[in-house]
Structure 1
């Protein structure tokens, strides 16, 4: 496993994003970030090391107000700011040594997989994109999540979201809620997949600094984020990887995204939301590396 990486920082909006830079050798660059309130180490390490070992430069970053990145108040997730962080990361990646600005790809999973769809649809600097078990339609995700939660716990989460949002207006510290939990507990996600979060992303508490909480106010806005609706605007090659038993991000919205993008490829794996981090890891890595090599490195045939 490659350990050749260095910490770097780049400006985004009113803060700086902290990132790992893995130097590459082939001119291609993969920009990566974790899912909802997932920092770069648990969210990207297993894949980033493999991409770097294959010769790609990797820039794995934390969104603002999370992990090594700056910004306050801490643990507040704002979609607009995170999308701006991706745009800033693309600009910064083009300045890294050995990177061909025409060979920059995006990689994200879950919420950041939705970000990848949104950014790839709008930023023509993106040469290729990988959306792994993406949150393509958060409205559908919210409806589905309700099936795995009790009405009382949902009401309590909404109440905390309202209290947190109002408190934020007057400068109070964020009211934090666990990212995942058992059915009946107040948490953002209580699907069967949620119970595998630590096994998949933080085995043996490998990343003790990862704060698995976020400001409750995010519960009020998640259902309005539907990045898959604009996927037909994506012109670069897109790899969509879905897991057929995904009970968190859902399969159907992601398959619809792949169907709507002219240059999309769809990979289906058995298993739940985190299967690419578990027993499906090798299959996922192989598919993603094949995609990156074909679309960032292969040269088109010369005109005859």
Structure 2
């Protein structure tokens, strides 16, 4: 995979914390803000798609949430939904100030947990001109219930206990208790679904990103099972593309499909494969669908809305003509 020689490291402030991002300058006036899923950082979580979008002329702003990657914030490796939603709002504000970016042509892109955030932000922020939710976590209770089929009850109890202990330790100022992002059934890990184990192969082939810490604070898992961003889809007024994978066991496709159907301007693309298929065998299909969506709603729409040239000025006006 080629890494753009022209991308530059930038920073913006969210909640008093600096968030780090890659800015890929574009050529068509549109900008796509990208956030990775869960505790995934910007490079493994966005590079394969950011490069393709940028090659097509789009500016890209791919950022790390606070407490993760190169962004500030302590304690580390903690995922808080409210904070991450605030980071999206700050990223949109910052993107509008980037050179060559038209503030009315800003799109947002996220997958997994961030795909769920996209559903919420698209509903809440009128500045969003288009949104792409790729294999989104649209309904936490549904995903948690189905993921439980791939975990042993004793391990689920140990994981919950570790999360509660970590939350208590946080109140006392203790460092986070960390768990792996993925593991085999029976281990204490964030994901134990069969396709959840594809994460390292999909996002970090050949250990391309050795600095990515594939761990998360156990307390982070306590709120995600109650997160239901798909319920906000009917309020999204911008074009919304939802990309689902039919065999997804980590973010089951049903709630995401219903979110796309309920969104006033929703579009749905269904791909074969599991949760990480858009990074693996279905990558070309996902990229082409997303590029087509962005071109239609950010480029073609903008061209159609440009005022027609006034051709009467070059001709002599007759008396009585306005």
Q: Alpha-carbon deviations, 1:252-303, whole Å to 9, x = none? A: 0000001101111100011101000001111110000010011001133679
Structure 1 runs of 4+ aligned residues shifted over 4 Å read 301-304
- Number of matched pairs: 304
Distance of 1:115 and 1:76 partners within structure 2: 16
Distance 2:170 2:54 in 1: 40
Give the TM-score normalised by structure 2.
0.93
Q: Distance in 2 between matches of 1:279 and 1:41?
A: 19
Equivalent-residue separation in structure 1 for 2:283 and 2:222 (angstroms): 33
Q: Which residue of 2 aligns with 1:224?
A: 226
2:199 pairs, out of 197, 200, 203, with 197
Deviation of the 1:103 alpha carbon = 0.2
Give the structure 2 partner of residue 183 of structure 1. 185
Counterpart of 2:294 in structure 1 is: 292
Shift of 1:230: 1.1
Equivalent of 1:21 in 23, 32, 44: 23
Contact 1:132–1:241, Cα closer than 8 Å, also in 2: yes
Q: Which residue of 2 aligns with 1:39?
A: 41
Question: Among residues 254, 261, 264, which one is paired with 1:262 in the alignment?
Answer: 264
Distance 1:196 1:251 in 2: 17
Aligned residue for 1:266, secondary structure, equals: strand
| Aligned counterpart, 1:79 | 81
Instruction: Decide which of 145, 163, 166 is 1:164's aligned counterpart.
Output: 166
Deviations 1:148-193 (A, max 9, x none): 0000100000000011000000100000011100010000110011
Tell me the alpha carbon deviations over residues 7-57 of structure 1, each in whole angstroms, 9 at most, x when there is no partner: 000000021100000000100000001100000000000000001111111
Question: SS where residue 300 of structure 1 aligns?
Answer: helix
CA distance in 1, matches of 2:228, 2:267: 20
Larger Rg: 2
| Superposed displacement of residue 224, structure 1 | 1.4
Distance 1:302 1:125 in 2: 19
Q: Is the 8 A contact 1:3 1:49 kept in 2?
A: no
What RMSD, in angstroms, separates the aligned Cα atoms of the two structures? 1.1
Q: Structure 2 regions of 5+ residues with no counterpart? A: 309-322
Q: 1:142 to 1:98 in 2, by over 3 A?
A: same
Q: Deviations over 1:90-145 (max 9, x none)?
A: 00000000000000000000000000000010000000000000000011111111
Q: Is the 8 A contact 1:145 1:191 kept in 2?
A: yes
